[in-house]
Amino acid sequence: MSSSGNIETILSVGIDIGTSTTKIIVSRFSLENIAGASHVPKIEIVKKEILYKSPIYRTPLLDNKKIIDIQEVHALVRKEYEKAGVMPTDVKTGAVIITGESATKENAQEIIHDLSSEAGEFLVATAGPDLESIIAAKGSGAYQYSLDTGKCIANIDIGGGTTNIAVYKKGILLGTCTLHVGGRLIEFQDGEIAAVSKPVKEVARMIDQSLSSQEDVESVLDFMVNTLTEILNGSIKTKENPLILGHLPEWGNTVEAIMFSGGVSECLYKHETAQSELYDDIGSCLANKIKESSRLAEWEWITPLETVRATVLGAGTQTTEISGATIQVDAAKLPLKNLPVFHLHLEDLQVGEESVKQAVQQALEMYDPNQEGINFALYISGLKILRFSEVQQIALWLLQAFQMQINNDQPLVIVMANDMAKVLGQSIQSLKPERPIVCIDQIKVENGDYLDIGSMLRAEVVPVVVKTLAFHS
């Protein structure tokens, strides 16, 4: 792809299996060389088109709602692919995520594994609550809003089982938080309470309500909205609250605007025209409480681009990045999934040999403690523009250090912050041609991130998904 105007397209699919609903989205990315004809190519995603949106399905459950109905999910995916006119082999990137309460079902892992191998070449296949919050904020438009306005906005994605909050300012992630607040935490049948989730029972006990009357449900809902308010303004300091799942928020009192997405927000905005199904749970009551809250009204409310589909949209369109255009990869070794990242900040080449050796040693102790041959990606940052001789030097150090790996047939995976992957990869290769290499650049990752690297595209770049959990304070 040496000339501009040469466009390559790839298909990306997002599948979101939530507590209450499951949805699928198919989109097409256009990749183009945006550098001038006389420059080294720079490949970017220049256009994202949504080709197909599935209806909102109820998540199929079995065995008293303890497990997800795998057969049914497969049938659903097959049917939707057919309607969209997509073959699994056409899919080059995307994400299957199991969100909210569904993630805690006994067979969640199995589903993920099955789907990501059968439905096409997915990169992200799991998402923890933090990543879920990030994906929802990107799908709802909150992330873009913060970029466009420079404001600090909280995206509050309220689904059936959980609420995922992500706070962005100027496109920078300030933090995430997950709450047991959702439409399906209390279910009704024939006007009577039929099921109550564990955290809600704890709340009822705490505020001395027996959950026998409508008033009791109202006070639980008030408690939920209050918790949400305190999380947003940063005044909550204790994890005693049974609604908090995981860590406390870390953004302080900085939020200027709020945006609601997720199934419950649909009750606020009514984006979906065809949907009139009754869920028989507290979803719409919760939405009403949020609408009426005078404390939540103190923030500026921004209307989301998507409500119930924010997460699936984010998963399908916002998770993929493109590597630098000059890279050195052994195409036969791709795709690679779930590589843990070890970060080496290498500034002083005087002690480079020792630094590289230590980093690889630490990475192996951390990620492959039982010497099972679990691979990892070494991320190197901090380097200046290097002379060719210095690149040779680093190549040798890396090769020596990576010999500590138990299995030398697996690819040596290196991610460079600087634009130097090709020369480094070639240098390693000329030292040891038999060792497979995946050396890419211009992707930013952190310690503890997980990395998925897709197959090489025609433009000689690879799609990359960084599953990041790092916040910026």
Partner 1 sequence: MNASDVEKVTELILKELNSQHNVSREPEKPTGSMVKFHKNLNTIPDFKRTPDLKEKKVRNHMEDFSSVDHPTNQEYLTEQIKKTPARIGVGRAGVRPKTNALLKFRLDHAAAVDSVYGKVSDELLNRMNWFSVQTMVEDQEVYIRRPDLGRKLNDEAKKQIAAKCKKNPEVQIVISDGLSFEAVEKNAEDVFLSLQQALTQLGYEQGTPFFVKNGRVAIMDDIGEALNPEVVVLLIGERPGLISAESLSAYLCYKPRKGTIEADRMVISNIHAGGIPPAEAGAYLGNVVKKILDNKASGISLVKREK
Is residue 210 involved in binding partner 1 (CB under 8 A)?
Answer: no
Q: Can you read off the two tokens belonging to residue 408?
A: 């030398």
Min dist. Cβ of residue 385 to partner 1 (A):
5
Min dist. Cβ of residue 305 to partner 1 (A):
19
Is residue 423 involved in binding partner 1 (CB under 8 A)?
Answer: yes
Number of C-beta neighbours around residue 5 at 10 A: 8
| SS3 label, residue 377 | strand
Min dist. Cβ of residue 121 to partner 1 (A):
22
Min dist. Cβ of residue 444 to partner 1 (A):
5
Is residue 90 involved in binding partner 1 (CB under 8 A)?
Answer: no
Looking at residue 281, its amino acid is D
Min dist. Cβ of residue 360 to partner 1 (A):
23
Min dist. Cβ of residue 461 to partner 1 (A):
12
> Exactly one of 442, 451, 452, 456 binds partner 1 (CB under 8 A); which one?
442
Is residue 320 involved in binding partner 1 (CB under 8 A)?
Answer: no
**Separation CA 453–CA 407 (nearest Å):** 20
Min dist. Cβ of residue 291 to partner 1 (A):
32
Nearest to 439 by CA among 337, 323, 355, 339: 323
**Separation CA 318–CA 309 (nearest Å):** 13
Stretch 40-79: interaction string toward partner 1, x if CB under 8 A = x-x-x-----------------------------------
Is residue 388 involved in binding partner 1 (CB under 8 A)?
Answer: yes
**Separation CA 22–CA 76 (nearest Å):** 9
448 phi, psi to nearest 5 deg: 90, -10
Looking at residue 68, its amino acid is I
Min dist. Cβ of residue 406 to partner 1 (A):
28
Is residue 443 involved in binding partner 1 (CB under 8 A)?
Answer: yes
Nearest to 260 by CA among 287, 227, 233: 287
**Separation CA 269–CA 74 (nearest Å):** 31
| SS3 label, residue 451 | strand
| Residue partners of 456: CB distance under 8 A and separation at least 6 | 329, 331, 334, 462
Is residue 373 involved in binding partner 1 (CB under 8 A)?
Answer: no
> Exactly one of 23, 105, 184, 422 binds partner 1 (CB under 8 A); which one?
422
* Region from 38-46, 66-74, 271-279, 304-312 binding partner 1, contact rule CB under 8 A: 38-46
> Exactly one of 24, 204, 414, 421 binds partner 1 (CB under 8 A); which one?
421
Is residue 391 involved in binding partner 1 (CB under 8 A)?
Answer: yes
**Separation CA 42–CA 461 (nearest Å):** 9
Give me the residue label for tokens 């103190």.
298
| Residue partners of 249: CB distance under 8 A and separation at least 6 | 165, 167, 175, 176, 177, 231, 234, 236
Give me the residue label for tokens 């609420």.
163
Stretch 93-132: interaction string toward partner 1, x if CB under 8 A = ----------------------------------------
Cβ closest to partner 1, residue 89 vs residue 389: 389
Residues that contact partner 1, how many (by CB under 8 A): 37
Cβ closest to partner 1, residue 50 vs residue 431: 431
DSSP 389-430: HHHHHHHHHHHHHHTTSS-TTS-EEEEESSS-HHHHHHHHHH
Cβ closest to partner 1, residue 287 vs residue 459: 459
> Exactly one of 38, 253, 276, 350 binds partner 1 (CB under 8 A); which one?
38
Is residue 330 involved in binding partner 1 (CB under 8 A)?
Answer: no
Min dist. Cβ of residue 421 to partner 1 (A):
8
Is residue 245 involved in binding partner 1 (CB under 8 A)?
Answer: no
Are the CB atoms for 299 and 408 separated by under 8 Å?
no
> Exactly one of 7, 39, 275, 373 binds partner 1 (CB under 8 A); which one?
39
Cβ-in-10-Å burial (0-12, 13-18, 19+) of 454 comes to buried
What residues from 154 to 173 belong to the interface with partner 1 (CB under 8 A)?
Answer: 170-172
**Separation CA 241–CA 203 (nearest Å):** 8
388 phi, psi to nearest 5 deg: -60, -40
**Separation CA 403–CA 286 (nearest Å):** 57
Cβ closest to partner 1, residue 110 vs residue 148: 148
Helices (H) and strands (E) in the chain, counts: 12, 23
Cβ closest to partner 1, residue 237 vs residue 387: 387
Beta-strand ranges (E) seen in 382-461 are 412-416, 437-441, 450-453
> Exactly one of 3, 189, 273, 350 binds partner 1 (CB under 8 A); which one?
3
Is residue 414 involved in binding partner 1 (CB under 8 A)?
Answer: no
Cβ closest to partner 1, residue 199 vs residue 249: 249
Cβ closest to partner 1, residue 220 vs residue 437: 437
DSSP letter at 160?
A: S
* Interacting residues toward partner 1 by CB under 8 A: 2-3, 38-40, 42, 44, 147, 170-172, 321, 326, 328, 385-389, 391, 418-423, 425-427, 429-430, 442-444, 460, 472-473
